[in-house]
Amino acid sequence: MVKIGRFSAYSLFFLLALMYLMPKASIYYFFEEQIKPYSIVINNETVKESGLGLNITDAVVFIKSIDSAQIGSTEVNLFVLFNTIGIKDITLSSVAAAVIPLHIQEVHIQHSILNPLNITVYGEGEMGVFHATFNLLDRFLSVNLNPSEHMLKNYKSTLSNLKRSENGGYIYEKTI
C-alpha cells in the first residue's frame, strides 16, 4: 500500500513539474507559425508565462492582411489532460458590423483527453449566448446561438440564414 502511495505521489509531482516547467511561450509561438499558412497573423500581443498558464494581452488578429479583431486578454492553461483558453473583451472589425454585433465579452474554449476528438466553445456577447462544438475528425462545426434582443432586432438577415431550433435559439452547422 505504501508503494502505491509513493508511486501516486511521485507521478503527481512529475506531472505538476512538467506542466510548470513546460515552455508555454514557445508553444504559443509555434502555434502562431502553424496558423500563418491560413493567412492568420497575431500581432502586438504581450505574452507572459504564469506558473501553470500563459497570459496574452492586447492582441490584434489579421486575417488575409485585414485587421479582423482586437483581443483584450487571453488566458491559456495547458494541463495535459484538460486544456482551456479563456478570451475576454473581443472587438471585431467594423467590416463585420453588417452581419454580427462587434463586441464579444468572453469566450471559453475547452479540450479534454476524455473527449479528444471534440473542442467545445462557450461564449457571450452582444449577439447573445452561444455554445459550439468542433469535431476534429469529421471537421464538423455546430453552433447553437441564443440571440440577445439586440441581435433579434438589428440582425434579422443574419438570423434568417440560420436554422431555428425548438427552444427558440438558432443553429449553424457546417463541415469545414
Q: Count the helices and strands in the chain (H runs, E runs).
A: 4, 11
Indicate the pairing of strand 115-125 with strand 53-63.
unpaired
Q: Which three cell numbers stand for residue 127?
A: 449577439
- Adjacent-strand bridge partners of 32: none
Q: pLDDT tens per residue, the chain (176 residues)?
A: 788 989 999 988 888 888 888 888 888 999 999 999 999 999 999 999 988 889 999 999 999 988 999 999 999 988 778 899 999 999 999 888 888 999 999 999 999 999 999 999 999 999 999 999 999 999 999 999 999 999 999 999 999 999 999 888 999 999 98
> Which are the contacts of 97, defined by CB distance < 8 A and separation ≥ 6?
none
> Sign of the C-alpha dihedral, residues 30, 23, 79, 81?
positive
pTM: 0.85
Residues 117, 110: Cα–Cα separation, whole Å: 12
Q: What angle do CA 125, 136, 21 make, to 5 degrees?
A: 80
